[in-house]
């Protein structure tokens, strides 16, 4: 999900979050439904990260969980399969919504995180995974997430956090907060941190999980490597990977509640 309005950011967001979602759904149709979850979760959380969020957010049968900026629906589908929760996915990219419906049959709404199409206090739980790093309006997005949560609700965040001043070569649509900026935005939005967890400290995904995601990526590459949008999306992933590997970025999980 991206709230950036610049032309470069818009083009990169479309390639990464919209077009690639449709190609991923095509690959899953060709390779088998067992490839859907690993492929659609790539970039939005490993099984260990999603389990941590589900446990902290008290997901279970009957829990309605909003996935704000849920992409192709992998995290929402994982929550439904592993906890029995009922997900509702709100995602600004229409192609990603179509992919989520196609792969998982999820209820999806095309909409942005800055104006969620839900009434206040509508959901017991909300996830916002990888979204804050795509907008400069960190506090505004968090405030809107706070609005749709019940007063006793839980929210789970996966955030790319800027660890150094050097983000040379970062994708145009990447706007990660620093740890201090994130804390200020949360406080301003009326959300209190209950728990934090670094993704790097969690167990790696099972080998078969990564292998299935890799097969989907290979299928997409074989069929679309000559498309400029594939090159843009792949280049963005590689740039973020380098920034993570060099310690300029970290991936943090947060469990937050309304104050």
Domains of the chain, with CATH numbers?
7-258 (3.40.50.150)
**Model confidence over 213-237: pLDDT tens digits?**
999 999 999 999 999 999 998 999 9
The contacts of residue 14 (CB under 8 Å, 6+ apart) are 93, 229
What are 238's two structure tokens? 């590689």
Whole-number Å distance between alpha carbons of 191 and 145 = 9
172 falls in which pLDDT band (50, 70, 90)?
confident
For the whole model, what pTM was predicted? 0.91
**Model confidence over 105-116: pLDDT tens digits?**
999 999 999 899
Whole-number Å distance between alpha carbons of 142 and 187 = 10
Per-residue pLDDT for 59 more than 60? yes
pLDDT value, residue 75: 97
């Amino acid at each position: 999900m991206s709230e950036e309005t610049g032309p470069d950011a818009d083009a990169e967001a479309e390639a990464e979050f919209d077009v690639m979602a449709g190609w991923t759904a095509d690959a899953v149709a060709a390779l088998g439904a067992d490839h859907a979850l690993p492929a659609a979760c790539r970039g939005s959380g490993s099984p260990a990260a999603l389990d941590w969020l589900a446990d902290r957010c008290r997901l279970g049968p009957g829990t309605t969980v909003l996935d704000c900026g849920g992409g192709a629906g992998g995290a929402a589908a994982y929550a439904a399969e592993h906890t029995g929760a009922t997900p509702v996915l709100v995602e600004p990219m229409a192609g990603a919504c179509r992919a989520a419906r196609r792969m998982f049959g999820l209820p999806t709404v095309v909409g942005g995180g800055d104006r969620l199409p839900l009434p206040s206090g509508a959901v017991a739980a909300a996830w916002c995974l990888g979204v804050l790093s795509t907008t400069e309006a960190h506090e505004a997005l968090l405030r809107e997430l706070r609005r749709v949560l019940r007063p006793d609700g839980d929210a789970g965040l996966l955030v790319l956090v800027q660890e150094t001043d050097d983000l040379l070569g970062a994708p145009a649509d990447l706007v990660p907060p620093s740890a201090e900026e994130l804390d200020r935005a949360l406080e301003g939005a009326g959300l209190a941190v209950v728990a934090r967890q670094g993704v790097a400290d969690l167990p790696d995904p099972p080998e078969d999980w990564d292998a299935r995601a890799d097969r989907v990526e290979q299928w997409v590459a074989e069929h679309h490597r000559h498309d400029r949008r594939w090159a843009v999306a792949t280049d963005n992933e590689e740039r973020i990977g380098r920034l993570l590997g060099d310690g300029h970025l970290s991936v943090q999980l947060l469990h937050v509640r309304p104050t």
